[in-house]
Amino acid sequence: MNPADLKILFVCMGNICRSPTAEGVLKKKLKDQGLFQGVFIDSAGTHNYHPGSAPDTRTQSHALKRGYDLSTLRARAVIEEDFEKFDWLLTMDWDNRALLEERCPKKYTHKIKGFTEFLQTTQASAIPDPYYGGDQGFEYVLDLIEEASDGLIQTLIQKVKR
């Protein structure tokens, strides 16, 4: 797999908080660092709760304060073609990982990973859903996503060096 041609799908439940944040953060970090212009990044939800909706306004507000504009992103559900199309399907938590693994054809299950696997220093097994919480939850999600994105970028750089 050539990292420059990698296709990454971030997955959470409704695709209005965590996964679009991860999509926006990774896109900006890669662009700002001039890395991997060929990487295709998208996000989707395991549930089709908000088809065509923009990310949650609180998600957008907190992301924008850190320089991430998520306003053009739109929610969608994971579809069967995603399992074949994407090289990595990175889930935000164990519940959504289990839902993906149930739906995924066996030959593609190796593509499903937890996004927290790329955290560099923080010990977390999931990126929690901030939807029902306050401002601190959205900030914590951004902290985790920024760190995991940095770890993912380091992983891609290591793949290029091999």
Point out the residues that are catalytic. 12, 18, 129
Under the phi-then-psi rule, with left for phi > 0, alpha for psi from -120 to 50, and beta for the rest, what region is 34? left
In terms of DSSP H, where are the helices of the chain?
18-33, 57-65, 80-85, 94-103, 135-161
Q: Phi-psi region for residue 67, left (φ > 0), alpha (ψ -120 to 50) or beta?
A: left
